[in-house]
Amino acid sequence: MAVLQTWICCVLESMVSGGVSRPSIREGLLFTYSSNTHLHVALADLCVGFYHTSNMTVPNLSQFETFAALVAHFQDTNNSGNLCFAHPTNPHQSHTPLSYATTADIAQWTRRAAAKYVAYGVTPRKEGEGPKVVGLWARGGREWAASFFAIVRMGHTVVIISPRLVDQYVLDLLERSGAEFVVSPSPPPTTSPTANRNAKPNGLAAPGGGGILTTTPHNNPDKSNCTIKHIPIITPSELSSLHGSLPSDGDLFSNPATISPTDTAYQTHSSGSTSTPKLLASSQLKAVRTLQISLEHYPPSRSRWFASAFYMTVGLRGLIQTLYAEAPVFFEGDELPLTIHSAAEFAKTASEGVEGGGGGLGDMYLTPHTLNLLASSPVGIEELRRAEKVCVFGAVVNDAIGDRLVHQYGVNLAVQYGMSETMMLMWSTGREVDDREDWNWCEMIESKKPYLRMEAIEGQEGGTLYAELVCLPGCPDIMEGVRDKDGYFRTGDVWVRHPEGKERWKIVGRRDDQVKVYREGRQVVVNALEYEGRIVAGCGGLVAEAVVFGQGRGGLGVLVFVEEGRGGVEGVREKVWECIERDINASMSVEIEEKMIVVVEREREKLPQTAKYNLIRSRVYKEYEREIEATYDATNAA
């Protein structure tokens, strides 16, 4: 076997050095899908996998005690000229070409951003000073990347806030973090009853304006008012300007020696899908450790697409990897929502771009929403098929869609779980190449296995047994602020055990996805996502989203969301009913009656959702409370 491995690596080495990309090699090895599919896919992955394993270069980051020192080192010394960052040239337009950048380019953006923020009063940290807290509340793009690295190198703490949060959450996070400044395209919202902005004319402490937001922290009324200064985020034209000299690095950045490993490097936050978002702090040293661990999963020699905004955990890690990446890291931007067409076109453009340079779009890291978009078009499926690895994170993957991609098209699909709060707890990426039947069945990360426990969810009677994943005290890599007082971290995510008794589990949703209904006086727990996934997948692209309701009631119902002009309400209802009879009522524990189908004409993008495009179930129920109650009233009257 070792001789075979060596021979394969030598052959692939010569092919790559001759300009043949690794995805193209895999493409050639696949031959045809007309027969013996799994054998061909396994051979292709085996060969390319051998090559990657033997040619993986992983930087050792143990020399760095602070994240600021790590960023400074790579930006100041990485002169390789490798293209490490790829982003739409104009993120406000669809079908735009990609712009590529090197680490040196990003370093120059960082200097320009720092120069602007110094002019607005955010001075670099000096010896003996503590870090300032600076909020970063903006869409992800070059300006965001430059601002993040600038604030880090200035020695301060970055509070990363999603622009998709409701106004109340934005203000709450700024208040709780103790932010002194907020960098954003426009001033923060003033919808909080405790906030008032004393607007200032242009010229407040810096050219170009700015403003002061005064808030009384509603979570601590006894605390004195705090002021948060707004600073306009650097613009694309300012980033690319060639006019004017920049101050020296000593006037822009803090000396890394003044920064303590225990200082907070940055704070992210939870999604806010089930409650007020939690701040998740990462110290300077922990940020370095997190990056070192991520190198085990994201080798720098592989080009990849992160379908995650920079203000989300996975997207942020992808951005940080550009510091030492040897191949382009692709980001689609979030100024415009992805569509079936734009997602496929972006994947195709990225793949073609790196192929021309002898590389290849090796891996895709996608949310289930982006995977669904790609799986809905021939171009998207082809790009998924050509990728060396497709990892899904952030939510539950629809089984029917995943099975089709794996078994019909040979997509190398896997699941990674626990990326936000825990730096990964479960995954299916470590399986053997011929173990594709279990693409969605995860195993516990070996180093964390002693600290993980599956606890049965109360109130179950027969049928599928659901369990919640719980992290025990001492579990490594848990973000600060998520543990309970007893040291446990109860994830709220629900799993089922492998039917063959293997040490593998499949995530099926969150605790709030578990709907308790009553049948003949007995409580039955059903998983809403299983029902919803079958309806969406079984209606041939007609249904944009389905949301099951019925918590504590005598029967289930479903809100079916479709875009206007997709066949009329009654036509949609007929199709959905056919699907429910075929895919749900014939096999699931609780049936849905035809009169409990509520069709709503509304685009999915306008539904309450997190930055990962996961629906916020509680808010959907609240918005459609009248329709739900009317459905039960009509049923009871009948």
Residue 491 belongs to a domain: no
Checking if the pLDDT of 103 tops 90, the result is: yes
Please indicate, yes or no, whether residues 4 and 138 belong to a single structural domain of this protein.
no
Checking if the pLDDT of 111 tops 90, the result is: yes
Picking from 91-95, 241-245, 352-356, which range would have the lowest pLDDT averaged per residue?
A: 352-356
Starting at the earlier edge strand, list the strands of the sheet with 467-471: 452-456, 467-471, 489-497, 505-510
Measured CA to CA in angstroms, residue 463 lies from 42, 84, 460, 532, 551 at distances of: 35, 50, 8, 19, 18
Question: Which pLDDT does position 226 carry in this prediction?
Answer: 62
- Under a CB-based contact definition with an 8 Å cutoff, are residues 310 and 137 in contact? no
Question: Which pLDDT does position 518 carry in this prediction?
Answer: 79
- Under a CB-based contact definition with an 8 Å cutoff, are residues 322 and 78 in contact? no
Picking from 97-111, 393-407, 416-430, which range would have the lowest pLDDT averaged per residue?
A: 416-430
At 37-51, the pLDDT tens digits run 444 444 444 444 433
Picking from 217-221, 420-424, 466-470, 501-505, which range would have the lowest pLDDT averaged per residue?
A: 217-221
Checking if the pLDDT of 28 tops 90, the result is: no
**What's the domain count of the chain?**
3
Residue 395 belongs to a domain: no
Of the CA atoms within 13 Å of residue 493, those in its CB half-sphere come to 20
Question: Which pLDDT does position 222 carry in this prediction?
Answer: 44
- CA-nearest of 117, 197, 187 to 158 is 117
Residue 240 belongs to a domain: yes
Question: Which pLDDT does position 483 carry in this prediction?
Answer: 84
Please indicate, yes or no, whether residues 126 and 6 belong to a single structural domain of this protein.
no
Please indicate, yes or no, whether residues 51 and 83 belong to a single structural domain of this protein.
no
At 371-393, the pLDDT tens digits run 999 999 999 999 999 998 999 99
* 160 against 23, higher pLDDT: 160
- Under a CB-based contact definition with an 8 Å cutoff, are residues 47 and 16 in contact? no
At 180-231, the pLDDT tens digits run 999 999 887 763 434 433 333 322 233 334 555 555 444 444 444 568 999 9
Residue 6 belongs to a domain: yes
Residue 542 belongs to a domain: yes
- CA-nearest of 535, 522, 631, 525 to 578 is 535
Domain boundary among 287, 308, 328: 287
Please indicate, yes or no, whether residues 90 and 45 belong to a single structural domain of this protein.
no
Averaged confidence pLDDT in the chain: 82
If pLDDT is split at 50, 70 and 90, which confidence band does 459 have?
A: low
Q: Any idea what DSSP says for residue 407?
A: I
Mean pLDDT within 472-500: 88
Measured CA to CA in angstroms, residue 101 lies from 109, 482, 580, 609 at distances of: 10, 36, 50, 32
Mean pLDDT within 609-619: 79
Please indicate, yes or no, whether residues 90 and 228 belong to a single structural domain of this protein.
yes
Domain boundary among 287, 312, 330: 287
Please indicate, yes or no, whether residues 116 and 143 belong to a single structural domain of this protein.
yes
Please indicate, yes or no, whether residues 48 and 142 belong to a single structural domain of this protein.
no
Please indicate, yes or no, whether residues 526 and 602 belong to a single structural domain of this protein.
yes
Question: Which pLDDT does position 324 carry in this prediction?
Answer: 87
Question: Which pLDDT does position 211 carry in this prediction?
Answer: 59
- What residues contact residue 415 under an 8 Å CB cut-off, 6+ apart? 391, 392, 393, 397, 426, 427, 428, 429, 439, 440, 442, 507
Question: Using CA atoms, how far apart are residues 66 and 262, in angstroms rounded to an integer?
Answer: 8
Question: Which pLDDT does position 463 carry in this prediction?
Answer: 59
Q: Any idea what DSSP says for residue 420?
A: T
Domain boundary among 225, 253, 287: 287
Mean pLDDT within 424-450: 84
Residue 292 belongs to a domain: no
At 280-338, the pLDDT tens digits run 899 999 999 888 887 777 777 888 999 999 999 889 999 999 998 888 999 998 888 88
Please indicate, yes or no, whether residues 47 and 123 belong to a single structural domain of this protein.
no
Residue 465 belongs to a domain: no
Checking if the pLDDT of 581 tops 50, the result is: yes
Per DSSP, what are the bridge partners of residue 136? 160, 183
Q: Which of 256-260, 351-355, 465-469 has the highest mean pLDDT?
A: 256-260
Question: Using CA atoms, how far apart are residues 628 and 631, in angstroms rounded to an integer?
Answer: 5
Residue 454 belongs to a domain: no
- Under a CB-based contact definition with an 8 Å cutoff, are residues 546 and 536 in contact? yes
User: Which amino acid appears at position 435 of this protein?
Assistant: D
- CA-nearest of 320, 401, 329 to 365 is 329
Question: Which pLDDT does position 62 carry in this prediction?
Answer: 87
Task: Read off φ and ψ for residue 486, nearest 5 degrees.
Answer: -85, 5
If pLDDT is split at 50, 70 and 90, which confidence band does 610 have?
A: confident
Mean pLDDT within 457-476: 80
At 531-569, the pLDDT tens digits run 998 998 888 788 989 999 998 888 999 999 998 766 678
Please indicate, yes or no, whether residues 135 and 255 belong to a single structural domain of this protein.
yes
Question: Using CA atoms, how far apart are residues 584 and 400, in angstroms rounded to an integer?
Answer: 13
Question: Which pLDDT does position 5 carry in this prediction?
Answer: 45
Question: Using CA atoms, how far apart are residues 482 and 487, in angstroms rounded to an integer?
Answer: 9
Question: Using CA atoms, how far apart are residues 492 and 515, in angstroms rounded to an integer?
Answer: 14
Question: Which pLDDT does position 192 carry in this prediction?
Answer: 40
At 138-192, the pLDDT tens digits run 998 899 999 999 999 999 999 999 998 888 889 999 999 999 999 999 887 763 4
Question: Using CA atoms, how far apart are residues 619 and 10, in angstroms rounded to an integer?
Answer: 56
Which contiguous run of DSSP H or E holds residue 559?
strand 556-562
Question: Which pLDDT does position 200 carry in this prediction?
Answer: 35
CATH code of 533's domain = 3.30.300.30
Please indicate, yes or no, whether residues 158 and 219 belong to a single structural domain of this protein.
yes
If pLDDT is split at 50, 70 and 90, which confidence band does 523 have?
A: confident
The domain containing residue 6 runs over which residues?
A: 1-55
Please indicate, yes or no, whether residues 185 and 249 belong to a single structural domain of this protein.
yes
